[in-house]
Amino acid sequence: MPGNPWIGGLGYDPHPKQQQFLLHADTREVFYGGAGGGGKSQAIWFAALQYVTVPGYAALILRRTYADLALPQSLMHRSQEYLAGTAAEWNETKKRWTFPGGATITFGYVDAERDKFRYRSAEFQYIAFDELTDFSESQYTFLFTRLRRRAGVDVPLRMRSASNPGGPGHDWVKKRFVDARTRDRRRVFVPATMDDNPSLDREGYEESLENTDALTRDQIKRGNWDAVEGGRFKPEWFLHRYDQRGEYLVLRRPGEEAERVYRVWDCLRFGTCDPAASAKTSADYTVVGAWLVTPQNELVLLDADRFQAGIPDIPPRLEAFYRKWQLSYLGIEGVAANDGVYQLAARTRMAVTRLLPLGTDKLVRATQATNYAQAGRIWFPPPGLRPGMPLDDVESELYRFTGDDKRDDHDDAVDMVSYAARLLSDGACDTSGSASVPHILGGRTT
């Protein structure tokens, strides 16, 4: 920053999004958050350095536990590299940097709830929480009592924080900073993603994230604050993944030696679609899935598409998806505005059937799907098997699904899976020929 030799003058320059974070010097609360790899810890460090040229300035940077504070490559450890060879002096006992003129930056932690009282007699003009969702709201708000200055100390009082979605404090952090409906207008949220941190080895980090579950990837890779586990679909129900070798699917559960191999085109394939008749980015999504039924009566998700479009533009995209997987039929929810999508699709060469919710209780509609998932009868592909398939969106939506309209942001993928389970349960996917089949309109594609 101009005029400050401690920022940008040591070979470490703030990136544009970090600079945006630093420009809110006169705002009491600013939160930097979102995807992992967005440079949030470094942003907190740069903000702490902004006033170290002012005598009497004191800053405090907090992690939840001492173990977090002392981790290799933690911000405290990286500060040693940043200030090595400078006139700043490090006190190992107090975990504190002292700068020429007397300004200080101290590293601390607030583990147990009572640990917040450790700072009851201290005075800081800058307090920062690294990984705010690890803290309780009471710990955060108590530290405001330590945010003060003596007369004549010409620095702003700043409370700064940064975090990814998730963690025990997810809900209160989202309410306080992220959700525009609940955020006080005097607070500022600076969202950041991997794209905002050119110093990151993005390819390597994304490769590491592929080893995590879909909900975690949605939180860390995309910074999605709506991705929270609701408890209705459990990630551990989807640990088994199929693989694909050419035209063949390979199914093997963890711990099993025997593989089951099925040729895709020899198995029944059908589709389910929950349309959303709007192209607005704030609207729900149209979600369509292609399913394969194994001889053991299991559901295998072959592919999915998720998009926002107006009614006339939905059927052509569904038809392309239908042809890609040579589906036997496509079930489309046909109620209210969605019935227009069904009616248009019925005039195409697709074989379509109308799906009805059979009640408004989303939990009841999802019951069969949760039962199948818990029994291990729903198979998903491993991440990366089918590029372009929004598998993370589908999975993370399942994991955060609560059935409560006030908490669930989107549940279109849940309905897509729920309808597939219901069709399987009703016998519409039975390949023996003895069960009833759904009423079909339209025609087969040749």
170-196 pLDDT per residue, tens: 889 998 999 888 899 999 999 988 887
The count of C-alpha atoms lying within 13 angstroms of the C-alpha of 405, restricted to the half-sphere facing its C-beta, is 4
Is 444's pLDDT higher than 60? Answer: no
Report the 3 state secondary structure along the chain: CCCCCCCCCCCCCCCHHHHHHHCCCCCCEEEEEECCCCCHHHHHHHHHHCCCCCCCCEEEEEECCHHHHCCCCCHHHHHHHHHCCCCCEEECCCCEEECCCCCEEEEEECCCHHHHHHHCCCCECEEEEECHHHCCHHHHHHHHHHECCCCCCCCCCEEEEEECCCCCCHHHHHHHHHCCCCCCCCEEEEEECHHHCCCCCHHHHHHHHCCCCHHHHHHHHHCCCCCCCCCCCCHHHHCCECEEECCEEEECCCCCCCCEEEEHHHCEEEEEEECCEECCCCCCCEEEEEEEECCCCCEEEEEEEEECECHHHHHHHHHHHHHHHCCCCEEEECCCCHHHHHHHHCCCCCEEEEECCCCCCHHHHHHHHHHHHHCCCEEECCCCCCCCCCHHHHHHHHHHCCCCCCCCCCCHHHHHHHHHHHHHHHCCCCCCCCCCCCCCEECCCC
Lowest-pLDDT choice from 69-73, 107-111, 403-407: 403-407
Instruction: Please tell me the predicted confidence (pLDDT) of residue 446.
Output: 36
Q: How far apart are CA 333 and CA 360, in angstroms?
A: 13
Confidence grade of residue 70 (pLDDT, cut at 50, 70, 90): confident
Domains of the chain with bracketed CATH:
16-215 (3.40.50.300), 235-442 (3.30.420.240)
Instruction: Please tell me the predicted confidence (pLDDT) of residue 209.
Output: 76
Q: Per-residue pLDDT tens for 296-313?
A: 999 999 999 999 999 999
* pLDDT > 90 in the chain, percent: 53
Confidence grade of residue 364 (pLDDT, cut at 50, 70, 90): confident
Lowest-pLDDT choice from 204-213, 259-268, 407-416: 204-213
Instruction: Please tell me the predicted confidence (pLDDT) of residue 109.
Output: 93
Q: Per-residue pLDDT tens for 194-229?
A: 887 777 777 787 777 777 767 777 777 778 887 776
Confidence grade of residue 433 (pLDDT, cut at 50, 70, 90): very low
Is 342's pLDDT higher than 70? Answer: yes
Q: What is the mean pLDDT of the chain?
A: 87
More confident residue, 14 or 54: 54
Instruction: Please tell me the predicted confidence (pLDDT) of residue 169.
Output: 87
Lowest-pLDDT choice from 54-58, 112-116, 241-245, 303-307: 112-116
Is 395's pLDDT higher than 60? Answer: yes
Mean pLDDT, residues 146-168 taken together: 90
Q: Per-residue pLDDT tens for 89-148?
A: 999 999 999 999 999 999 999 988 888 998 988 999 999 999 999 999 999 999 999 999
